[in-house]
């Protein structure tokens, strides 16, 4: 570690960071000005360069990129992560919300770019896997991070207990049915990892069956990445106290009672079993091609900011450009016909 590094109680290596909120506010203002200048140029390369610079300025609010700081590494323990911590972000809720708003505009820009390339034959696509205990904020992530996204090009799917039809197939069958098409982003609220964790915790399958799925999943994700599908795997780490607060809120608030189910308490009673199961999932399936990111989630504004950063930088790093006219399009002829009409 460098001289400014320190070990924090959240289980991650932390840095002294920059000068907190003032630095973040100044950097976000610079990013906002840069974003405002993007459309002023008619040159595609210039627009893309300005967009890239805007994204770099947004990333500069982090003392260390979440893709590095929050990536699971061997030896890390989920039990050591403080759900209320905000590693890498020295600002507060208002700073994070400003960041998310600006980042959302650039996510929308890169999403449109991804979609346009898909229409023109690119096989690039993106899969986001969201996991976490109940009340960890998975649903809010989608609403806030994609606030300016285009529904044309985003596919959301929540996985529950397998249906009778799904149980009649291989466990990956239902996952394959929901994968993103070329140019699309798919968001999985729970995923194929439930088919390891749930049988382990509740003993519904022989151990030899669910243990064999680690290798199957690693091969599956490796092939996805090799075919042009980027994967972002996120586990939202919520504390038991914060989960309890949200559960009580659902019981007390008439507009949230529909979210509560008694099975939520059954899972809470098995908290330690779940943590042990997820710990092994991270150890066995966090790979170079598809690493896990363990995101403290007691502060929703922080976890949403992290996911926004991971998503935007993943799209930016695809290094896409705007496709030209489709085959057969003659722009001069098109302009002539439009002028005549």
For 137-160, what is each residue's pLDDT tens digit? 998 988 888 887 888 899 999 999
pLDDT at 10 over 50: no
Q: What is the pLDDT of residues 188-226, one digit of tens each?
A: 999 999 999 999 999 999 999 999 999 999 999 999 999
Mean pLDDT for 114-138 is 96
Please state the domain count of the chain.
Answer: 1
**Predicted pLDDT of residue 19:** 53
Q: What is the pTM of this model?
A: 0.92
Pick the range with the lowest mean pLDDT from 3-12, 19-28, 85-94, 110-119.
Answer: 3-12
* Contact of 193 with 131, CB cutoff 8 Å: yes
pLDDT at 9 over 50: no
* Residue 14 included in any domain: no
Q: What is the pLDDT of the chain when averaged over all its residues? A: 92
- Using CA atoms in the order 209, 210, 215, 220, what is the torsion angle rounded to 10 degrees? 110
* Residue 146 included in any domain: yes
Mean pLDDT for 147-174 is 93
* Residue 8 included in any domain: no
Reported as type and span, the H/E element at residue 277 is helix 271-285
* Residue 247 included in any domain: yes
**Predicted pLDDT of residue 321:** 96
Rounded CA-CA distance 280/211 in Å is 10
Residue 35: HSE in the Cβ half-sphere, 13 Å Cα cutoff: 22
DSSP 8-state class, residue 270: T
**Predicted pLDDT of residue 267:** 93
**Predicted pLDDT of residue 292:** 98
* Residue 341 included in any domain: no
**Predicted pLDDT of residue 93:** 96
Mean pLDDT for 13-34 is 77
**Predicted pLDDT of residue 288:** 96
- Count of residues making up the chain: 341
* Contact of 193 with 218, CB cutoff 8 Å: no
Domain that holds residue 91: 19-321
Q: What is the pLDDT of residues 59-77, one digit of tens each?
A: 999 999 999 999 999 999 9
* Residue 339 included in any domain: no
- Region class of 251: left (phi > 0), else alpha (psi between -120 and 50), else beta: alpha
To the nearest whole percent, how much of the chain has pLDDT over 70? 94
* Residue 41 included in any domain: yes
* Contact of 119 with 183, CB cutoff 8 Å: yes
Mean pLDDT for 271-281 is 98
DSSP string of 54-121, one letter each residue: HHHHHHTTBSS-HHHHTB--TT--GGG--TT--TTB-S-HHHHHHHHHHHHHHHHHHHHHHHHHHHTT
Coil, helix or strand at residue 331: helix
Q: Which residues contact 282 (CB under 8 A, 6 or more apart)?
A: 72, 76, 78, 235, 292, 294
β-pair type (125-132, 229-237): parallel
Mean pLDDT for 128-132 is 97
Rounded CA-CA distance 283/77 in Å is 10
- Region class of 20: left (phi > 0), else alpha (psi between -120 and 50), else beta: left
List, in sequence order, the alpha helices (H) in 134-185: 138-145, 164-167, 173-176
CATH number of the structural domain spanning residue 73: 3.40.50.300
pLDDT at 136 over 80: yes
Minimal CA–CA distance to 131: which of 191, 176, 202, 180? 191
* Residue 122 included in any domain: yes
């Amino acid at each position: 570690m460098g001289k400014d590094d320190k070990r924090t109680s959240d289980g991650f290596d932390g840095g002294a960071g920059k000068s907190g909120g003032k630095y973040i506010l100044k950097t976000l203002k610079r990013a906002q000005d840069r974003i405002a200048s993007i459309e002023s140029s008619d040159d595609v390369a210039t627009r893309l360069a300005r967009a890239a610079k805007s994204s770099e300025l947004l990333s500069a609010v982090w003392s260390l990129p979440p893709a590095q700081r929050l990536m699971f590494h061997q030896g890390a323990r989920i039990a050591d992560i403080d759900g209320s911590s905000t590693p890498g972000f020295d600002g507060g809720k208002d700073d994070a919300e400003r960041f998310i708003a600006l980042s959302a505009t650039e996510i929308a820009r890169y999403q449109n770019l991804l979609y346009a390339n898909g229409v023109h034959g690119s096989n690039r696509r993106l899969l986001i896997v969201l996991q976490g205990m109940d009340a960890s904020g998975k649903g809010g992530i989608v609403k806030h991070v994609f606030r300016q996204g285009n529904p044309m090009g985003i596919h959301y799917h929540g996985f529950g207990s397998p249906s009778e039809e799904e149980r009649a197939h291989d466990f990956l069958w239902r996952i394959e049915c929901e994968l993103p098409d070329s140019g699309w982003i798919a968001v999985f609220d729970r995923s194929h990892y439930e088919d390891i964790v749930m049988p382990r915790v509740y003993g519904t399958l022989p151990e030899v069956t669910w243990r064999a799925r680690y290798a199957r999943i690693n091969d599956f994700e490796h092939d996805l990445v090799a075919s042009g599908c980027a994967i972002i795997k996120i586990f939202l780490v919520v504390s038991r106290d914060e989960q309890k607060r949200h559960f009580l809120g659902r019981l007390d608030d008439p507009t949230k009672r529909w979210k509560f189910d008694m099975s939520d308490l059954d899972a809470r009673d098995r908290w330690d079993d779940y943590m042990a199961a997820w710990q092994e999932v991270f150890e066995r399936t966090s790979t170079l091609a598809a690493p896990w990111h363990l995101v403290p989630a007691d502060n929703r504004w922080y976890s949403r900011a992290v996911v926004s950063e991971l998503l935007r930088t993943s799209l930016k790093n695809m290094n896409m450009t705007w496709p030209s006219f489709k085959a057969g399009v003659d722009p001069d002829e098109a302009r002539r016909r439009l002028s005549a009409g």
